[in-house]
Structure 1
Amino acid sequence: MENLSALTILRKELHQNPEVSGNEFNTAKRIVSFLQKYPPDEIITAVGKTGIIATYNGKKKGKTVLFRAELDALPIEETNVFEHKSLNKGVSHKCGHDGHSAILCGLAQKLHAEKPEFGTVILVFQPAEEDGSGAKKVVEDNRFQYIKTDYAFALHNLPGFKMHQIIVKDHIFSCAVNSIIIKLKGKTAHAGEPEKGYNPAMAIATIITEFNALIQSDIANNNYCLITPIYSKLGKKAYGVSAGIGEIHFTIRSDSNLEMTNIETTLENLAKSIAKKNNLKCKVKWTQSFKANRNNIEAVELIRRAAKYNSLDILEKEYPFTWGEDFGLFTEHYSGAMFGIGSGINTPALHNPDYDFPDEIIQTGVNMFHQISKQITDAY
C-alpha cells in the first residue's frame, strides 16, 4: 500500500502541474526525482528534448523489453474543482498521461525491489505524444539508437470500458492519422468585378466536395478512410474585395499505414489539380502524423497471459480504435503492442475538460507491465 500511495501522490502532483507537448521540463524533473528513490542501472535525460530512459538490468544476459509512457498534457482548460486540479491555466492532463507515467514509475519500484532474472527492462518516458512528434524525436535521438529491444509495450486508459478490464487486439490497435494544410493563393479584385481576380472560394468548395467523396467511414469495412474538415479561412473582412488567398485543413484517418500513404498522395495531387484549374498557386503541408499501432501477435499473447495471471477480465476488440497514438512508430520498429485498461463506463471521455485519470487502475497497470516483463525476462 505504501508504494501505491506514493504513486497516487505522484500522479496528482503531475496532474496539478501539466505541461504541453515539448515543454515537459518540470514533469521530467519530477519523474527523475521519483526514479532516484528506486535507482535504475542507467538513466538518460533530455531524450528527444525532455524524454527519459531508465534501464534496469537483470542478473544475467537475456532478452530486452521496453515499456513506454507519455509526459505531455493538453491545451485544455480544466473544469474540475477537486484539490489536485491543474494549476496551469489553459493546460491539463485530459488524456491520462499523468496516470500512465505513474504506472511506469510503479514498474520502476517493482524492478528495483526485484531485479529481472535475465535480460533488461527499459522504461521510456516520452514527450510530445499529443502532437505526434515525440516518438519520432525519441527514436531519432542518438542516445536511443543503441537500444535493441526484443519487445515494446504501452497501455492507454479507456473511458467507456469497465474499470480494470484489459482491452486487446491483434494486428491494428489504433489508426494512422495525418493532417493536411492546403494554402491557396490567387489574386484579389474588386468585389464588383470578381472576374478580374482569382478567388479561392470555388477551389475550396471543390476540394471539400472531392475529399468528401473519398470517405469510407465504416471501420468494419475495407479501405477505411475518414476525412474531417478542421479549419478554413478565406480572404479578409473587406466587403469590397474579392478574396485572393485561402486555406483549408483536414485530418485523415486510415487503418493501414500503407493505405494512408496512398491516401496522402491522392489528396495532395487532387488539391494541386483543383488549384491549377482555378489559376491558383497551391502549397501543401502535412502535420501531426501518427502511425497506426500494428500489434505483434506474440506480444498481444503476452498481454493476454499477464491479464489472466492477474485475474483480469479481457475484452477482444473487433475493430481498431479510430484515434491516433504515436506509439505506432515504436511498433513499426519493434515487435510490440499497445493494450487498453478500462477506466470506467461512466468516466468522462478523453480530451474532455472534466476528465481525470482514475487512481484505482494505477495498480492494475503496474501489475500488467510487471507480469509482461517477468514473462520475457524470466523465460530466457
Structure 2
Amino acid sequence: MKKFSEIRKEFHQIAELSGKEYKTAKKVVEILKNYNCEIVPNIGNTGILAIFDSGKEGKTISFRAELDALPIQEVNDFDYKSLTDGVSHKCGHDGHLTCLLALAEKLDQQPPNAGRVILLFQSAEENGEGAYAMFHDEKFKDYHPDFIFAYHNLPGYPLNEIVYKYDSFTPAVTSIIIKLNGRTSHAAEPEHGDNPALAMSKIMQRSLAIAKNDINDKDFSVVTPIYQILGAKDYGISAGYGELHFTLRCWTQKALNELVENIKEISKEEAQKESLQVSYDFTQDFQANENHDEAVDILDQVIKKHKFSNQKRAYPFKWGEDFGLFTQNFKGAMFGIGSGKNCPALHNPDYDFPDELIDHASDIFFAIQKEILG
C-alpha cells in the first residue's frame, strides 16, 4: 500500500494535460518493466497496453485507466503538489492509473489461469479524444477484448463503496456549434443586411424549451448554452455572422442523435426565416457508457462473493466519460468506488485522490478477471 501510495504521489507531481502525457507514460512504462508482461507503447499517441498472457486459450479481459490531468491550479499545499502551474490531477487519474499498476503487480505474482489480461492506460480522457485515438489505432486491433471494465472514484460516497448499475452509467454528450452566415450592413440600415441576432435568440429559446433536465424522465436531456459570437465592437456595423455553442447530453446514444437532429432542424427553420446560411461543427464527443448486462452480472457476482460494500444507482451520472466508446463496441461496464463522503468534489482545486482506494480497486479488478478466467 505504501509503495503504491508513493508512486501515486509521484504521478500527481508530474500532472500533464490531455494528449501531452509524455512524462506520465514514460514513468508507467518504467514501472511495468518490473513485471512479466508484454508492453505496447504509443497506442493512440501516449496510450500503453500491458499484456499478461497465460499462453492458454481463453478470453481477453481489459481494464482501463486514464493518464491525463486538468487545466486547474492546485490550491493544496502538501509536499507532493503539482509541479506544473495551472495543471493538476483534479479528477483522480493519477490514482486510477496507479490502481492498474497495483493490479500489474498482483498479476505478476498470480498470472491469469487462461486467456489474457490487458491493462489499458489511455491518454486524453478529459477532452474525449483519447479513447477514439486508441480504438482507431491499427495496433489496437490485435488486442480487442471480450470484456472491458473501468471505474471512477466518487466523492460524496462512502469510502470503498462500489456504485454500479445496469444500462447507461454515464450519458452520451456532444457539443454543437451552430454557424449562421448573413450579410453585414450599416448599423443605421440593418434592413440592407442579414443580421443573425433574431435567429440566434429564437434558436436559443426553442432549443432550451425542448430540454428535459429531469433525471427521472426516461427522455432525459440537457441543453446547456456555452458560448456565443455575434459581430464585433464596431458600432456602425450590423453583424453578418454569429455562432451558438451548446453542450448536449442524453442517457443513450440514440436519444442524443435525435436531440441533435431536432436542434439542427430548429436552426434551419430560423435561419431560413432570416435569409441566413447555417452550418454545424461538433466537438467534445463522449459516447454513452451503456453497460452490458453480462459484464454487470460478472461485477455483481464478484460483489456478492467478496461481500464488497455496494449500492445500485437508480439513474446514470450526468458527466461525460469517453470509456463509452469501449462499451459501445465491447461487452463492458463502468462502475464507481466511493472516495469518501467528505472528499472534495471532482474538478475542485482542493481535490486529491484517496490512496486507500488503490489496493481496494486493484483487488476488485483482480477478482473480476478471476471470475471470468477461473
Task: Tell me which interval the TM-score lies in, with the shorter structure as reference length.
Answer: over 0.9
Q: Secondary structure at the match of 2:58?
A: strand
Q: Does the CA contact (< 8 Å) of 1:20 and 1:75 recur in 2?
A: yes
2:16 maps to 19
Residue 207 of structure 2 is aligned to residue 211 of structure 1? yes
Counterpart AA for 1:252: L
Counterpart AA for 1:173: F
Q: Which residue of 72, 78, 81 corresponds with 2:77? A: 81
Q: Does the CA contact (< 8 Å) of 1:187 and 1:244 recur in 2?
A: yes
Q: Does the CA contact (< 8 Å) of 1:310 and 1:367 recur in 2?
A: no
2:90 maps to 94
Q: Does the CA contact (< 8 Å) of 1:178 and 1:289 recur in 2?
A: yes
Residue 279 of structure 2 is aligned to residue 283 of structure 1? yes
Compute the displacement of 1:261 (Å): 1.2
Residue 244 of structure 2 is aligned to residue 248 of structure 1? yes
CA distance in 2, matches of 1:84, 1:30: 16
Q: Which residue of 305, 311, 315 corresponds with 2:301? A: 305
2:134 maps to 138
CA distance in 1, matches of 2:28, 2:57: 27
Give the TM-score of the pair, scaled to structure 2. Answer: 0.97
Deviations 1:69-117 (A, max 9, x none): 0111111121222111111111111111111000011110000111111
2:119 maps to 123
Q: Does the CA contact (< 8 Å) of 1:169 and 1:316 recur in 2?
A: yes
1:320 maps to 316
Q: Secondary structure at the match of 2:145?
A: coil
Q: Does the CA contact (< 8 Å) of 1:162 and 1:342 recur in 2?
A: yes
Q: Does the CA contact (< 8 Å) of 1:175 and 1:255 recur in 2?
A: yes
CA distance in 2, matches of 1:270, 1:31: 48
CA distance in 1, matches of 2:348, 2:229: 26
Q: Secondary structure at the match of 1:339?
A: strand
Q: Which residue of 179, 182, 185 corresponds with 1:183? A: 179
Counterpart AA for 2:137: D
CA distance in 1, matches of 2:87, 2:144: 35
Compute the displacement of 1:190 (Å): 2.1
Residue 353 of structure 2 is aligned to residue 362 of structure 1? no
Q: Relative to structure 1, is the Cα distance of residues 142 and 59 closer, same or farther in structure 2, using a 3 angstrom cutoff?
A: closer
Compute the displacement of 1:189 (Å): 2.0
Counterpart AA for 1:319: Y
Compute the displacement of 1:158 (Å): 0.6
1:229 maps to 225
Q: Secondary structure at the match of 1:45?
A: strand
Counterpart AA for 1:5: K
Residue 156 of structure 2 is aligned to residue 160 of structure 1? yes
Deviations 1:249-291 (A, max 9, x none): 1000101111111111221222233222212222200111111
CA distance in 2, matches of 1:14, 1:268: 43
CA distance in 2, matches of 1:275, 1:74: 37
Q: Secondary structure at the match of 1:23?
A: coil
CA distance in 2, matches of 1:23, 1:273: 42
Cα RMSD for the two superposed structures: 1.3
CA distance in 2, matches of 1:201, 1:20: 36
Question: Where does structure 1 lack aligned partners over 5 or more consecutive residues?
Answer: none
2:102 maps to 106
2:256 maps to 260
CA distance in 1, matches of 2:341, 2:348: 15
CA distance in 1, matches of 2:184, 2:77: 50
Residue 25 of structure 2 is aligned to residue 34 of structure 1? no
Q: Which residue of 44, 57, 82 corresponds with 1:48? A: 44
Compute the displacement of 1:201 (Å): 1.2
CA distance in 2, matches of 1:75, 1:276: 40
Counterpart AA for 1:61: E
Question: Where does structure 2 lack aligned partners over 5 or more consecutive residues?
Answer: none
Deviations 1:19-68 (A, max 9, x none): 1111111110011011111231x111110011001100125322211100
Percent pairwise identity: 48
1:8 maps to 5
Q: Does the CA contact (< 8 Å) of 1:59 and 1:117 recur in 2?
A: no
Q: Secondary structure at the match of 2:103?
A: helix
Q: Secondary structure at the match of 1:321?
A: coil
Q: Does the CA contact (< 8 Å) of 1:310 and 1:368 recur in 2?
A: no
Counterpart AA for 1:322: K
CA distance in 2, matches of 1:203, 1:12: 51
Q: Does the CA contact (< 8 Å) of 1:71 and 1:97 recur in 2?
A: yes
Residue 28 of structure 2 is aligned to residue 64 of structure 1? no
Residue 195 of structure 2 is aligned to residue 170 of structure 1? no
CA distance in 2, matches of 1:158, 1:318: 15
> Which shifted more, 164-173 or 231-240?
231-240
CA distance in 1, matches of 2:171, 2:28: 29
CA distance in 1, matches of 2:76, 2:347: 13
Give the TM-score of the pair, scaled to structure 1. Answer: 0.95
CA distance in 2, matches of 1:244, 1:118: 64
